[in-house]
Structure 1
């Protein structure tokens, strides 16, 4: 067999398997070369260490320009130091591997061109010619071909990138479907995991809060990822559990050095803010990549209130830019995420000496992500201070992560209505999520204390969705077991996750066009209820305390169907009933007589002739 025939055969096999390991002079291209998949460009660069005095994170800048040859679409993607390229398993702190992750959104040929610069603080400079050539892979060029995605189901690579499109709901780039989320906002120290690299587990800083996620080891499945000969089963199992309950989001802080927990940070130690722990961050990436396959949205909380002034006094200075650059480079390729600029941002913390961030600092954070994230992911901020100074088309915020303060969740509905209107009136509609419904002390109680979760379901979950929120994430109050800091078992709220799944099921499986709908409580006579509607077409009537209601239809009238849905069980309790209606229509009573004083949902649709 000739040498050329062997090479041709190998290339054909690679294409058949849709797995690529392509070589150029200095570039190794890895991954499934398919639309929406993570493509990795690995380079052999200078031999450096995490702790080098000539800082490899700050004083080298790896960028790759990707151009889609047929369309001319371009992306400038930042890269990062990768130690030996296998740091998640080797715990390496030094090496000569440098890496770029790219998630192509088009099929066909992509060209890439590398720039690798070297110089003091070059990584946080936007000047093309900052510093000097770093040699090695600088000016390296090449091409690769991207095939269609072959993924299906919940896998995000089947759906495409989830993005803000100037509307109240985020939209997937491949399928065009809109997204509703429900899942866990707690524990905020999700990443304080004992099996990650680093010495945060036993350094005397809140070590009692470090997690092993032991309750979820049983939810790890054969074939799921691990690192270092079996580490990671607990935290992978935790993500599996949430996905298995039908949840599609979880959140986590990436820096809480001055926070309540103090065990989560991307750095090599507590006091150095420009040297990063490569192996720990690669282990984080294993979790997030697995979550993509399960259809999980990643809620990155970049800072918490106690450390909003930790980097550069709250401004977007060198350390802040470097922190954001590393997050974007290492994790920005994920398809469904938001950058949360700060938890309870702007709130004054008496116990911490740094002041709250000012308006210009908050706007500057959003501007940095907008300008440097090649994929333009959703950008939100959490309320400590309110958001009046962040409104309008000049702001790069695309939504808010809202927190309420009542244990019965009674302010959720009106808060969403209020901020949807305020943002729309200001000239830029925000996508609003309620990510901490309830109060700090109690909020979503464990099943052992509140198995029914009536207030959470009625006021929090359905209250948010029926006001036009694109979803909810659930905080665990600090006065209860499995709290926002101590939770190691998501099954402590197992019964509530069922109710969240039922709500998502209602909108998805009954094909309710929620993205075309708005709140119209004025259309129903039941003052304890909510109405979410596309007038003249589709109405969702939520009866918080059962009973019945009149519904104002369009003046032309027509034939409508009424379908009853039980939000407590997730069951459609009636076949669609056809009625003739014009003007005012009584929707009747819920179909289960003994449960007519419980909450119910009526879906009213106009039949198309």
Structure 2
């Protein structure tokens, strides 16, 4: 009898085993799936699978209990990308507001032309989504094991569209670089409002859930900037927020930032979840609508600065650690938005500061490093990874941290600490063995910072100490904060025209470097050449010695430049950073190396700051 039971058990096991093997081998061949998007280099390619029927409120949680990964391999170069996928309801939830369905998506941004092969790994089990075990849980069947291929042709995009430039990458230098064109990137954009995504046209119950409902935005002042053929959803929703992006791009700006989780923060309206108190189920339609906005931004040449947490949330999901809820949150961000070409992940705003709420202690060094390592190990595209300073960044320096740059916040209304701050972190990171790319993403102070044009139309201190203080130190750019004591603040702004006059000045700085073919990425700060040994805010110098010198005069009208080590001749031209335009000449049009030289007087004394460009000539 015992022998019979053993034989029966073995036979049952073998029949189960071979049945599963047969399913694994044959079922994927008949998989129902769709390939969407333009099959071109750097474009978003989406594969939509027919998988298990589920819903946002299903007992078997589709966000935590299924793990969809797709391995993409290039046929010639053997490059591989392991890309996470996600539950997509009916596959069109941004339009339908569906909460249920059997569609599962993965987005991929190929970086090579030619044939790409892919293979699907689809697992299920309690919290399988955040497991790094290859064989976590059991096969989820359906598309598990499915293989396919597609062929990618060159992009046809041009101009501002990032698909013409390729992925923006940290390359171990002070500036990020586009993979397709090998261009380096200087940014100027908006750091405010932090609740950019607290938008009335997005799905979700955050509009009237009793948490910060007074901060909901319509972006109505920018409906006028929406254009025919721009994206909308549900016939006419989204015009205000899409118009806001159009306006920023039209002003020559190329970056904006937004918080994606501020549940316990100042605004309390922005989160990826179905509601304020549920942190393991995503609002699929709302996130689809976010994706419409982000995709348009990239087409308009706007860098995406994801602030993944507000300071009050640093202990929200896993008491500051990287546990199951944090991993799920990060995974969903990467799966849904990581394909975008120009972005950085900011681990936390004002990270490490002690929040008054005693239930939210500051994160310690190990917790800060754990956040960085999650993205370093799971983002298939290795996007630039930053953190905002509540406490200083010293514990995050070096080769092992995963951080590739700081998102610097300063605290002076006159922006006067910025230049020294950038110089410090550039030097400290280099000395620690890993050169950071340093940006100042919250210049000024919390109360005032960048004032509205109605209060400060000239923006002299912001331009001199903040904007040019950053660029002349070797920083890769700025995003501008709006102080909370003024109209159109960091929480209330819905009209970017409130700082229209300053956006012109920010654009002037970008145009100076671009139009004059200045290789800023090969230049370093040399304030000592203009007698500025203390790195004060009077005169700055950025130079590729023996080739190009940029001298910035901050509220002075003349400067001397030490060219003792140079044997060349230099043409001298001047640039007005406030009004922009073409280079102009002054009385001294050429200087000779081998000595300290007088650069002459500013063309107009009434203008308080000037940029002097010296370029080497043949004689």
**TM-score in same-fold range (> 0.5):** yes
Is 2:35 the counterpart of 1:29?
A: yes
Report the secondary structure of 1:361's partner residue: helix
| Structure 1 residue 587, shift from structure 2 partner | 1.2
In structure 1, the partner of 2:608 is 598
Per-residue Cα deviation, 1:54-92 (whole angstroms, up to 9, x for no partner): 110000010100000001000000000000000000000
CA distance in 1, matches of 2:30, 2:292: 27
- Once the two structures are TM-superposed, the CA of residue 27 in structure 1 deviates from its matched residue by 2.3
Give, in whole Å, the separation in 1 of the partners of 2:55 and 2:490.
36
- Shift of the alpha carbon at 1:552? 1.0
CA distance in 2, matches of 1:555, 1:275: 63
TM-score normalised by structure 1 residue count: 0.95
**Structure 1 position 352, deviation (Å):** 4.4
- After superposition, the Cα gap between the structure-2 partners of 1:271 and 1:552, relative to the gap in structure 1 and judged at 3 Å, is same
- Report the counterpart of residue 83 of structure 1 in structure 2: 89
- Give the distance between the partners of 2:434 and 2:89, measured in 1 at CA: 43
Give, in whole Å, the separation in 1 of the partners of 2:541 and 2:389: 27
Q: Aligned partners of 1:352, 1:274: CA distance in 2, in Å?
A: 24
Q: Give the C-alpha shift of residue 575 in structure 1.
A: 5.2
SS at match of 2:116: strand
Asked whether the equivalents of residues 306 and 352 of structure 1 are also in contact (C-alpha less than 8 Å), the reply is no
> Are 2:544 and 1:534 aligned?
yes
For residue 211 of structure 1, what is the aligned residue in structure 2? 217
- Residue matched to 2:599: 587
From 468, 473, 492, the equivalent of 2:474 is 468
Aligned pair partner of 1:486 in 492, 496, 503? 492
Per-residue deviation at 1:26? 2.5
Q: Secondary structure at the match of 1:114?
A: strand
In 1: Cα distance, 2:179 partner to 2:550 partner = 27
- Give, in whole Å, the separation in 1 of the partners of 2:531 and 2:367: 46
Contact 2:195 2:267 in 1 (8 A): yes
Of residues 556, 560, 564 in structure 1, which corresponds to 2:574? Answer: 564
Q: Quote the offset at 1:303 in angstroms.
A: 0.3
Change (3 A) 1:602 1:48: same
Kept after mapping to 2: 8 A contact 1:24/1:142: no
- Aligned pair 1:578/2:584, yes or no? no
- Counterpart of 1:20 in structure 2 is none
**Structure 1: how far apart are the matches of 2:542 and 2:618?**
20
Distance 1:379 1:71 in 2: 26
Matched, 1:383 2:393: no
Deviation at 1:573, TM superposition (A): 4.0
1:283 Cα deviation (Å)? 0.1
Matching residue of 1:10: none
Tell me the distance in 2 between the aligned counterparts of 1:161 and 1:24. 34
User: What's the counterpart of residue 18 of structure 1?
Assistant: none
Within-5 A mapping of 1:113-192: 113-192=119-198
Alignment-derived partner of residue 97 in structure 1: 103
Please state if 1:260 is matched with 2:260: no
The gaps in structure 1 that reach 5 residues or longer are 1-22
Q: CA deviation at 1:524?
A: 0.7
Separation of aligned partners in 1, 2:583 and 2:613: 11
Q: Distance in 1 between matches of 2:341 and 2:562?
A: 41
1:96 CA drift (Å): 0.3
Does 2:342 match 1:333? no
Does structure 1 residue 44 correspond to structure 2 residue 50?
yes
Q: State the alpha-carbon separation in 2 of the partners of residues 75 and 608 from structure 1.
A: 49
Q: Equivalent residue for 1:295? A: 301
Residue in structure 1 matched with residue 25 of structure 2 by the alignment: none
1:452 and 1:398 map into 2 onto residues whose CA distance is 34
**1-side partners of 2:275 and 2:143: how far apart?**
30
Q: Distance in 2 between matches of 1:553 and 1:244?
A: 40
| Whole-Å separation in 2 of the counterparts to 1:86 and 1:608 | 62
SS at structure 2 position matched to 1:265: coil
> What secondary structure sits across from 2:101 in the alignment?
strand
* Structure 1 residue ranges, 4+ long, deviating more than 4 angstroms after superposition: none
Q: CA deviation at 1:547?
A: 1.2
Whole-angstrom CA distance in 1 between matches of 2:129 and 2:439: 33
Greater C-alpha Rg: 2
Cα deviation, residue 608, structure 1 = 4.9
Mean Cα deviation higher: 524-533 or 479-488: 524-533
SS at match of 2:597: strand
- Matched residues in 2 for 1:499 and 1:214: separation? 25
CA distance in structure 2 between the aligned counterparts of 1:261 and 1:461, rounded to whole angstroms? 28
Question: Which deviations, in whole Å up to 9, do the C-alpha atoms of 1:401-439 show, x marking residues without a partner?
Answer: 000000000000000011111111111111110000000
2:434 alignment partner, SS class: coil
Give the CA deviation at 1:578: 3.5
CA distance in 2, matches of 1:83, 1:104: 25
Partner of 1:15 in structure 2? none
Write the distance in 2 (CA, Å) between the matches of 1:591 and 1:565.
9
Counterparts of 1:323 and 1:579, CA distance in 2: 58
The alignment covers a number of residue pairs equal to 585
Separation of aligned partners in 1, 2:436 and 2:370: 18
CA contact (8 A) 2:546 2:568 kept: no
Distance 1:386 1:591 in 2: 41
3-state DSSP of counterpart to 2:353? coil
